[in-house]
Amino acid sequence: MDMGYYNYNFVLGDKLKELRKRSGKTIEQISEEVDCDPRTISNYEKGMMPRLSIYHRYLSVLDISDAERIDLVLLAYGKR
């Protein structure tokens, strides 16, 4: 199945959404803190593979452990 230009990782998207909700923040709040369009955060939560610079800023505004951060980076870049 060809997903077009973008690669999708639905496990990662679900995990990001879960962590954002756990943080109590909305997509709009995260996008303001990360300085990106809300659609970008929404797309990541739908499984679109993130751009490295935005992804690391996104992870930095979530209240997650170092272990969770490492798992998310590995998941995003196909190491898990």
pLDDT of residue 49: 80
Residue 42 lies in a domain: yes
pLDDT in tens, 28-66: 999 999 999 999 999 999 988 878 889 889 999 998 999
CB 40 within 8 A of CB 54: yes
Question: Both tokens of residue 55?
Answer: 């992804």
> Can you give the pTM of this predicted structure?
0.82
pLDDT of residue 70 exceeding 70, the answer is yes
Asked if the structure places residue 1 within a domain, the reply is: no
CA angle 13, 70, 56 (to 5 degrees): 65
CA dist., res. 36 & res. 58, Å (int):
10
Domain CATH number, residue 41: 1.10.260.40
